[in-house]
Structure 1
Amino acid sequence: MRNKKILLSIILMLILILSGCSNTKSLSKQLVLKNAYESKTITWGVKADTKLFGLTDVKDGKQKGFDIDMAKLITKKILGKTGKAKFVTVTSQSRIPLLKNGNIDAIIATMSNTPERAKIVDFSNSYFDAGQSLLVPENSTIKSTKDLSGKTVLGVVGSNSVQNIKIAAPKAKVLQLQDYAQTMTALKSKQGDALTTDNGILYGMAVENKGYKVVGGTFTKEPYSIAVNKGQKDFLKETNKAIKEIEKSGEYNKLIKKWFGDVPGFNYKELYR
């Protein structure tokens, strides 16, 4: 009898502990904006392997790119001049779990706003109007998705572009790798005939790797948006307000010109707002 009482006591204690943890986690999720105001910091999930958007500079170890600069501007708009943007490196497959677990406050990592993802996270207004395209060697005969039948197309695990290419070129073979660095290496070693993702990312890869070009125009619309956890309406509202202010002030156009103005074949004027 005594052992049963002890066992019941242990079970009750575990229930209370787990309940407390759940309530704390739920409470923390509700207070993201408040916590940001108190700490004067917003923690952003960003890429570290995507040239022009989020790439680690080997000279100083800092992440740099369009997404990074946008995150800094949005942070200042929301928290004021003393506001600090903290960056955590994410990948296409880790970014949503890190957000849901509370490791980051928001994702700004070349993330397309899709209906499937919108069931899990909330998205801000678009901050970059991207579209999926193809990267191929300069001597390739591939000009569009129509030329991919029987070809091997490289993509990143967890990226929406993998699903899109299966629809656009159903007769193509798809090889998924962990990140863009691996897909580029695979393209160079001829493990694939083309690499697919959003055109903004591909232009960065073309700049970084001579002998490759972006072809096919854009066969999808892939607007990049900032992702936040569900239930963060106040934080989302302030984020959208900040994006609008950045566009209205002309700061947005300066960033577009800074990061894309010198990219061969990239018409940055189309992105002016």
Structure 2
Amino acid sequence: MAQHRRPPSPALAGACLALALLGAGARAQEPATSPGDTNVFAGTLKKVHDAGSVTLGYREASFPFSYLVGQRPVGYSIDLCLHVVEEIRKELDDPAVNVAFVKVTPETRIPDLVSGKIDIECGSTTANKERETQVAFSPIMFVAGTKLMVKTSSSYRSYRDLSGKTVVVTAGTTNEKALRALNDKNKLGLNIVTAPDHEQSYAMAASGQADAFATDDALLYGLIARHKAEKDLMVVGGFLSYDPYGLMFRKDDPQMARAVGRTFASMAENRDLIEAYHRWFERRTPSGEEISLPMSAQLSEVFRTMGMDD
């Protein structure tokens, strides 16, 4: 079922472009290390070289960014991470580097990355200044925004209709922070409750334990499509926040930053970025769902600044 999103504000578009240019441009200017020279590897690349594997953090229920089909992590973010892995293999001159997967949640993803339990987080994580004090981000891969999911049989069409009602958010997300700020500013008296992951948040709203579920619009559309619940649930209201996504990796790691930057620049030039978007958002997904969410003008412009032809 086709869904329509209101275009993000010009200020957001400008911020997205600035971040994309900073991430892609600055990294592309620095020279790569010499493949096979183990003396120059540091940070994540040295860790991967020594272990012979790279560990990707995946989410169980961030469809279509990162989710499980059977026991296999798949999704838009997983595809992008696997392209980064290919760049790491080239850098290390080691095509035999293995890929391991570790499940993360919104609350564990940053600690697991910082501690070295995972090397790249492949999920639906908003890149913001607060998080950049702990981790680094790839160039922007998606632009989302907080919206509300409610039952179609309800009378709720905006956050203003939810005064005194129960709204669930997933713990450890930027959506929780945005909703609490909105509640305080407008004195709505919301009963804000949290669940550990998006699937459990969805279940609370679908079952009526919560009157609404607040998270990024693309995730809401994905959850509704995944559960084939278009008749029972819908996404309503304007954007409560805007959230540019990126892949997370450890900060202060210039070799890894260059590898990630080269990956995105190459994917933009080869149009692999737009193909990955089409695969997960505009066509039937490999697991059978169809979101039909056209690429926003803002994300298209971000990809263009990375080198994608019109």
What's the TM-score once normalised by structure 2's chain length? 0.72
Letter in 2 for 1:224: Y
Q: Does 1:120 align with 2:134?
A: yes
For residue 154 of structure 1, report the CA deviation from its aligned partner: 0.6
Q: Which residue number in structure 2 is paired with residue 192 of structure 1?
A: 210
Counterparts of 2:154 and 2:42, CA distance in 1: 51
Letter in 1 for 2:219: I
The superposition leaves residues 60-98 of structure 1 with CA deviations (integer Å, 9 ceiling, x where unpaired) of x10111111111112113323935433211000111111
Q: Which residue number in structure 2 is paired with residue 36 of structure 1?
A: 48
How do 1:251-270 and structure 2 match up within 5 A? 251-262=272-283, 263-264=290-291, 266-268=293-295, 270=297
Aligned-residue sequence identity (percent) comes to 25
Counterparts of 1:205 and 1:112, CA distance in 2: 18
How do 1:37-56 and structure 2 match up within 5 A? 37=49, 41-56=53-68
Counterparts of 2:250 and 2:87, CA distance in 1: 20
Higher relative contact order (CA 8 A, sep 6+): 2
Counterparts of 1:66 and 1:176, CA distance in 2: 26
Higher mean Cα deviation, 257-266 or 123-132?
257-266
Q: Does 1:212 align with 2:233?
A: yes
Counterparts of 1:240 and 1:168, CA distance in 2: 35
Report SS of the residue matched to 2:57.
strand
Report SS of the residue matched to 1:219.
strand
Counterparts of 1:73 and 1:50, CA distance in 2: 19
1:132 is aligned, of 119, 140, 146, to 146
RMSD: 2.2
For residue 264 of structure 1, report the CA deviation from its aligned partner: 4.7
Higher mean Cα deviation, 166-175 or 81-90?
81-90
Letter in 2 for 1:223: P
1:65 is aligned, of 75, 82, 86, to 75
How do 1:88-237 and structure 2 match up within 5 A? 88-170=102-184, 171=188, 172-209=190-227, 210=229, 211-237=232-258
Counterparts of 1:149 and 1:266, CA distance in 2: 30
1:237 to 1:137, Cα distance in 2 relative to 1, 3 A: same
1:217 to 1:96, Cα distance in 2 relative to 1, 3 A: same
1:96 to 1:269, Cα distance in 2 relative to 1, 3 A: closer
**Equivalent residues, number:** 243
Q: Is contact 1:30-1:231 (8 Å) kept?
A: no
Counterparts of 1:133 and 1:224, CA distance in 2: 16
1:76 is aligned, of 86, 89, 100, to 86
For residue 48 of structure 1, report the CA deviation from its aligned partner: 1.5
The superposition leaves residues 99-133 of structure 1 with CA deviations (integer Å, 9 ceiling, x where unpaired) of 12111112121111122211111222211112111
Q: Is contact 2:146-2:214 (8 Å) kept?
A: yes
Letter in 1 for 2:200: Q
Q: Is contact 2:126-2:243 (8 Å) kept?
A: yes
Report SS of the residue matched to 2:168.
strand
Q: Gaps spanning 5+ residues in structure 1: where? A: 1-28
Counterparts of 1:227 and 1:269, CA distance in 2: 22
Letter in 2 for 1:250: R
Report SS of the residue matched to 2:239.
coil
Letter in 2 for 1:68: I
Letter in 1 for 2:256: F
For residue 40 of structure 1, report the CA deviation from its aligned partner: 5.5
Counterparts of 1:35 and 1:181, CA distance in 2: 33
Q: Which residue number in structure 2 is paired with residue 13 of structure 1?
A: none
Q: Is contact 1:134-1:215 (8 Å) kept?
A: yes
For residue 265 of structure 1, report the CA deviation from its aligned partner: 5.9
Q: Is contact 2:277-2:295 (8 Å) kept?
A: yes
